Structure formats: structure tokens, C-alpha cells
Structure 1
Amino acid sequence: MKPGVGMFVLRTRRSRGVLLGGLAVSLVLSTLPVLPLPGVAPTTAAAAAASVVDESTALEQAKASGEPVEVTTDRTEYSTTHANPDGTFLLTQSSTPQRVKQEDGSWKAVDPALERRPDGRIAPKRATDLVYR
């Protein structure tokens, strides 16, 4: 056997293993929610109720203050909309959930830490439609 042939086969097998391992890790990580930016969502129901702003109100507030104002009625798990002082709107979307809507209507930041549920399932503390059995 030639010295270079065996080395090529060994490198190919090792490279294939590294490639498949990297692929497996990236598939697992792509299913986990991303930690949100600080301060994206109100932390209490009272704060959520107090900060309900529709498009026309947000536009008026933005023109008066000269600063962008979030349109909280358009907020979703994946997007936020801001009214700008010049009369335009800015939609910011994410490919992963940034917040989770609670039963009381308030928004909380995504919490990907896993916990065991009373029914035996293991799932993130606060996430959207993601449960491991």
C-alpha cells in the first residue's frame, strides 16, 4: 500500500465524522429558542395593559416626542412594529420567538431553560409550541 493512500482514507473518514457531528449539533441548536434582547416585553399584566398602543396613538406619540413608539397592538412572538416621527412604520421580525404571550395577555421573555412538567414532559419554561417527550 502506498503511504498517501491510507492517509487519504483516514482523513476522509475523520472529516466525514466531523462533518456529520457538526451537522447533528447544528440541527439540535436550531430547534432551541434564542434568548431575547433585554427589555423587549413588559413583565407584568399591569404593565402590558398600561402600554397598549394602537397605530394611530403610536403615530401621534412619535410625532409629539420625536422618538419611535412601539405599536403594542401589533406585537407578536416574532415581531414588533414601531411608529416613526416622520409618519412611517418600522416592522422588525425575528426567525425565532422573542417573547411568549401569557394566559393573562401579558408578554414575557422566552426562557429556554428546561423543566419537568407535572405530566412528565420536559419542556422549556417559557417557549412557543416546543415540547420534548
Structure 2
Amino acid sequence: MTAPRLLSPFVRTRTRLGVTIGLVMAAALTAASLPLIPDDEKPIAAQDEPVAAIPAGIGPKDEATALQEARRTGKDVLVDRATTAFSQLFARPDGQLRDVTSALPQRAKDENGQWAPIDNTLSLDPTATDGLGVIPANPPEKVRFSGGDKGNGEKGKGAGAEAGATVLAEAEAKGHTITYTWPGTLPEPVLDGSRALYPEVSPGVDLLLVARQEGGLGLLLIIKNREAAATVKALTYGLRADGAIFRHNAETGGLSVLDAATQAEIANIPTSMAWDSAGKDPESPEKPQLSTATSADVLKLSGLSG
């Protein structure tokens, strides 16, 4: 399906506008409702059972092994097998357990299957054959962004793109792949941390993709001048997902992504927003930053965090 994003209500008097379409994973939203448990919170009582002797340092520690090591060393010990993206469980020397939970994912499995800190720093894989060569180092959920056409003909369009369109991004959500397509070709992006900027996708308009801390992606359009604001009336993005359906909320304008079999929500795409993104010039903080002459200038504008 396609999801039209009408820009005309947002382009009356502003010199530069950002339209954001954020793909937020349902898992991250659910996890955000969990309490952040401080280190000094009341500990959890461990099972009052005898702990068999287990040699230290063999495999991931379960609760019993961690409790034994904590008593032996007098230090808190991580219960490896209880680790999740959002929480860690520690065994204490006094036989209690301490749980530390965060609202946002703090770690993800790396390419070796080991827990490692979230790292959304983007890099370009020149060997990608499907055009989606921009990837984060260790994201909470798998996302891939377009590496741009780069003059390589069909390579930059991405597998399965509609005629005249380019696969812009893919994001994983609970075993489903959600795909965005862009109506045309894309330039090679300028990478800046977790952000990929595609300059001049339309005259006076830049496109920004952001790998989000909570998983998924943010999509922003930066309309850089009045001429572009007057010209751009509507843009249509393609959306598709394997084994999932999209449900439009007529009241909010957002989209829910539902598992086709269970009807459970696996992701959501909130309503588009617009704002004046003129920022402060770091060399002249009393003056707003208005220049969009280069990609570096655009990336300094406020609010472009996805």
C-alpha cells in the first residue's frame, strides 16, 4: 500500500519545515512503560534452595551459579541468562537478586550472538547487492537504509521496488520486515552518526533517515526554502510488509502495523508533524542558524534527531 503525506497544511509561511514520519517498534513502546529500577531499590529474594557446586567461568551464568559466585567473591555477579535488551539481573553476596531495568533498549545481540551496547552509528557496505547498504553497527532491531543510486542503475533501486521507485529502508519488527519505498532515485547519503542525509531528493528538499535508540527509524523531510515549500504539495511513500497489514487511524492520521494472522500490533507509524527547524549558529549563538547551503549546514539544524 502507499501512505500519502500531504504537506500543504504545513507550508504557509515557514522558510524551512521538517516533516517526520517515525517508525517506532511496538516492542520499544511496550518496554517504555516498564519502571526504571534504581540500584538501591528493594532487592528480589532469591529461591531459598541449596546451590550445587558449579565450576566458575563455564558458560553463561544462571541464577544459581551467579549466587554462588557472589557469595564466594563478595561482589555482585551478573546473571547472564536473564539479560534482555532492557534489563539485567545481578546476584548479590547476601543471597538477594537485584534487577536493573531501563525504559529504552541498552544492548542488542551482535554478529557473534553476544550482548553488546546499542550502537546506531551508520556505515556504508559497498558490497551490498540490493541497494540497502547503509547499516547501523549494533541496532536494537535490524534496519537497513538505501546506499543511493550512485550511478549503478538498478542496484540502487533495491529488490522489489515498484516501477520508478527506490527501496528507501527496511526495518524488522517481531519477525516481519517493513519496507519503505521512495518515488524516484536517491543520491548517495551523507552519514553522520545515526543519521543518513540524502541531499536534494527534490529541488530544495533533503531527506533524512535516523536509526532510533528504541528501534526502527525516523524519516524527515527538510524543506529548505520558500520556493520548495510553494512547490511541494504532496509526496507518496510506498509501504509494504511481509505477513502484516496496515491499519489507518482516521482520527490521528497514524498507521498501525498488525500481524496478519493474530491482528496483534507489531509496530506503529505516528502522525506526520512539521516545525521550524532554524537552529542556533554555534559561532554566533545570538543569531538563528539559517544556512542550508551544504549538507553539513542542514545537519546542524535543530530537531533533526528522528
Normalised by the size of structure 1, how large is the TM-score? Answer: 0.56
Match for residue 90 of structure 2 among 82, 87, 96? 82
**For the residues of structure 2 that align with 1:112 and 1:130, how far apart are their CA atoms?**
10
Partner of 1:13: none
**For the residues of structure 2 that align with 1:50 and 1:110, how far apart are their CA atoms?**
26
**For the residues of structure 2 that align with 1:50 and 1:64, how far apart are their CA atoms?**
16
Matched residue type, 2:88: T
Superposed structure 1 runs of 4+ greater than 6 Å apart: none
Report whether the alignment pairs 1:125 with 2:137: yes
Matched residue type, 2:131: G
**For the residues of structure 1 that align with 2:118 and 2:58, how far apart are their CA atoms?**
21
**For the residues of structure 1 that align with 2:58 and 2:118, how far apart are their CA atoms?**
21
Aligned-residue offset at 1:51: 5.3
Partner of 1:111: 119
Matched residue type, 2:140: T
Aligned-residue offset at 1:97: 2.0
- In the alignment, structure 1 segments of 5+ residues that lack a partner are 1-16, 32-48
Aligned-residue offset at 1:82: 0.1
Match for residue 62 of structure 1 among 48, 70, 73? 70
- In the alignment, structure 2 segments of 5+ residues that lack a partner are 1-13, 26-56, 146-168, 170-306
Partner of 2:228: none
Asked if the contact 1:51–1:72 (Cα under 8 Å) also holds between the matched residues in 2, the reply is no
Query: Taking every aligned residue pair, what percent have the same amino acid on both sides?
Result: 33
Change (3 A) 1:62 1:106: same
- Aligned residues, how many? 94
Matched residue type, 2:122: L
**For the residues of structure 1 that align with 2:123 and 2:87, how far apart are their CA atoms?**
26
Partner of 1:52: 60
Aligned-residue offset at 1:70: 0.4
Aligned-residue offset at 1:86: 1.1
Change (3 A) 1:72 1:129: same
Asked if the contact 1:68–1:83 (Cα under 8 Å) also holds between the matched residues in 2, the reply is yes
SS at match of 1:59: helix
Correspondences of 1:27-38 after superposition (within 5 Å) = none
SS at match of 1:86: coil
Matched residue type, 1:128: P
Normalised by the size of structure 2, how large is the TM-score? Answer: 0.27
Q: Aligned Cα RMSD in Å?
A: 3.1
Matched residue type, 1:113: T
Aligned-residue offset at 1:65: 1.3
Aligned-residue offset at 1:123: 3.4
**For the residues of structure 2 that align with 1:68 and 1:126, how far apart are their CA atoms?**
27
Aligned-residue offset at 1:114: 1.4
Aligned-residue offset at 1:103: 4.7
